[in-house]
Structure formats: C-alpha cells, structure tokens
C-alpha cells in the first residue's frame, strides 16, 4: 500500500492497493500477441501488435515480450532487472527509476532524537519528502511509527511511504522478508531508495545466530543494492504481563553494537520505549509503556487522532508520538541535517 504522508501527517492518500508479494513480479512482461508497438513501421495497424523484443523501446503502452522487462524504457532480459543491473556498468541506479542517494554514515534514532524534533528546519523536512521513496515492512508493533508520523505537523509536501503491513522480520533466522525486499526493488522502473523492516516479538526469543542471520542478510542487501539505504531496527520491549527478558536486552545490544561498528542506520525502537522525556530510564518497561501513562497523567501529551491502543497498536499514543518524532529526526539527518 503506497501512502503519501501529507501536511499535518494525519491524512494518508491511498495511491495503490496492497501488492501481492508471493509469486513472480510480472512488471511489463506480457506474452506474444499482447497490445503495444514494437516500432515496426511495416506492421499493419489492423493486425495484432507484436510485443517488444530485446533492445526495443517500451513504456506503459508498449509492453515487452515474455521473459523481458522494461528497464530504462528498453526491453531487456528479466535477469538483468533481478540482478539490479540496467546494463550500464557505471550506473548504481539498480532499479532503473530510483534517484541516487548517499549513505550518511552511522545514524541512530533513539530517545534523545525525540527532543530534537522541534529543532528540525523546514528545509530538512522538504529534503526528506522530495528525496526519498520508502518501502516499509511491518506488522502491528511496527505500525506505531506510521501512527506517530501521522500525529505530527511537518509542513507542506508529502513523504512517499509504501507499506507491506502483513510481514515483519520474523523469528530465528527467517528470511522471507528478504525475498519480498528483492521483489520490490527489482520491479522494472522501481524508484524505492530506502527500505526499513520492523520486528514484532521476533527479538525476544531469538538467538545470537538468528540475529547474525538478520544482520548478514541486511548487509548483503546493501551490497546488492548500492543505490538504496537500509534501516536496521531493534525489537520492541517485552509484552505487558510477561517477565523481564535478559535475552531481549542481549539481542538488542547485539544489533546496536553491529550498527555502531559498521556505520549503519538504526531505528532504536526499544530505546525510545525505555526513556521518558526527562531522560529517566525504565529498565523493566514493557511495550505498553507504563511510564507513558504516568507521564501523560501529569503532562499534556499530544494525541491528534490517536485515542487509545486501538490507534497505537499495543501501546499508549504518546509512545507512537515519540516514535514518529524519532523517525522524522532520522529522515532529516539522512537528508543532510547536522542536528
């Protein structure tokens, strides 16, 4: 589902329906006998149009033959699109339609980032909205970021955010999300230049090996798609009503240490949940964010259209709000703001 996050972040305009991720991505591929124009001047207008062959021009009205994809307006083998290669050895634009981006080096969005939201200049919001086309895979907990984004006023303009709200990073080395990512980035003419995936409980019961599988897979995607930024993420805090989990803390620290050592972009989901605005740390907090409830009882907490945990999944609206602040801070830093 592709949304535009607009002026006050509350309105979301649906542009396309949720993509079917399983199966091959057809793109511009059609079989012989489809409609279109392969550029043959001798072809009778009344005869069925022959699809484009390798090297023929193509667009939405002139499809390529089976086994070919429309890459940079030219019919080419599908394999070249899947490999992220548009035929130009000097071009890192691996999707054929994405704008080049520069990796900003290490960026960590955590609880300290929320306090700087009000300092983000309008020009940085504008740069983030105009420069990045984002794909975000998540389930319920991950939706908290989107809810928070929609609670904030970031001025005019829209941020392009395509969501798959049915899949997350899974458990213990599951790599189904990798195939989905490649399917998205390999779409002919795809302009996605940032990818982010969230967890939904998959860190709590994970292992050191399982987290390494996640980290290695993310790093490999970065190697395979140099024109795309990838955002790493920690897992949410333990579920309300469960006992404190040392393994969750170890695994989240494993992700943090890797990102710090390798200059990655990290959205520290768990850290944002662990600190109140005064910087007080809650080591045994849960995903419900009990300190949020206490804080909002004695402070004015912005809510917008967020009313309760049916709007902010599994948690207090203020928790979603702060994650939205941290996300926009991260985007501003990626877009060049020095903070």
Model confidence pLDDT, tens digit, residues 195-221: 999 999 999 999 999 999 999 999 999
Instruction: Please determine, for residue 39, whether its predicted confidence score (pLDDT) is greater than 50.
Output: no
Give me the residues paired with residue 96 across strands: 190
Read off the pLDDT of each residue in 156-163 and give the average, rounded to a whole number. Answer: 94
CATH number for the segment(s) 2-17+100-334: 3.40.50.1110
Kindly list the distances between the CA atom of residue 218 and the CA atoms of 139, 202, 266, in Å, as whole numbers in the listed order: 18, 16, 12
Q: Which residue has the higher pLDDT, 258 or 74?
A: 258
Q: Which residue has the higher pLDDT, 242 or 168?
A: 168
Confidence band (pLDDT; 50, 70, 90) for 252?
A: very high
Whole-angstrom distance, CA of residue 47 vs CA of residue 94:
36
pLDDT digits (tens, 9 = 90+) for 86-136: 434 334 445 557 877 899 999 999 999 999 999 999 999 999 999 999 999
Cβ atoms 195, 103 nearer than 8 A:
no
Q: Which of 156, 160, 107, 155 is nearest to 329 (CA)?
A: 107
For the chain, the structural domain boundaries read 2-17+100-334
Lowest mean per-residue pLDDT among 101-105, 289-293, 309-313:
309-313
Tokens at 112, concatenated: 């300290």
Read off the pLDDT of each residue in 284-293 and give the average, rounded to a whole number. Answer: 91
At 65 the pLDDT is 76
Q: Which of 77, 97, 107, 87 is nearest to 227 (CA)?
A: 97
């Amino acid at each position: 589902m592709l949304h535009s996050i607009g002026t006050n972040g509350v309105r979301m305009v649906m542009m396309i329906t949720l993509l079917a991720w399983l199966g091959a991505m057809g793109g511009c591929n059609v079989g012989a006998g489809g409609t279109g124009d392969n550029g043959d001047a001798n072809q009778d207008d009344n005869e069925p149009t022959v699809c484009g062959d390798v090297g023929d021009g193509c667009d939405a009205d002139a499809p390529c033959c089976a086994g070919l994809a429309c890459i940079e307006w030219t019919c080419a083998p599908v394999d070249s699109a899947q490999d992220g290669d548009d035929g130009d050895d000097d071009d890192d634009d691996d999707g054929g339609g994405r704008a080049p981006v520069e990796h900003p080096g290490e960026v960590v969005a955590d609880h300290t980032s929320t306090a700087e939201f009000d300092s983000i200049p309008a020009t940085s919001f504008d740069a983030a909205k105009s420069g990045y086309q984002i794909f975000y895979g998540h389930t319920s907990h991950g939706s908290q970021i989107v809810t928070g984004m929609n609670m904030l006023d970031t001025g005019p303009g829209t941020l392009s955010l395509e969501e798959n709200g049915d899949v997350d990073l899974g458990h213990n080395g599951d790599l189904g999300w990798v195939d989905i990512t490649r399917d998205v980035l390999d779409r002919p003419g795809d302009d996605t230049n940032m990818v982010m995936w969230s967890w939904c409980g998959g860190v709590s019961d994970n292992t050191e090996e399982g987290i390494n599988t996640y980290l290695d897979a993310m790093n490999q995607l970065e190697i395979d798609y140099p024109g795309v930024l990838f955002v790493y993420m920690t897992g949410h805090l333990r579920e309300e009503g469960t006992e404190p989990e040392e393994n969750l803390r170890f695994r989240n620290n494993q992700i943090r240490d890797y990102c710090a050592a390798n200059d990655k972009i990290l959205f520290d989901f768990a850290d944002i949940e662990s600190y109140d605005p005064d910087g007080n740390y809650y080591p045994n907090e849960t995903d419900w964010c009990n300190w949020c409830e206490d804080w909002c009882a004695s402070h004015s907490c912005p809510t917008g259209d967020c009313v309760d945990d049916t709007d902010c999944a599994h948690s207090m609206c203020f928790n979603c709000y702060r994650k939205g602040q941290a996300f926009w801070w991260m985007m501003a830093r990626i877009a060049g703001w020095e903070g």
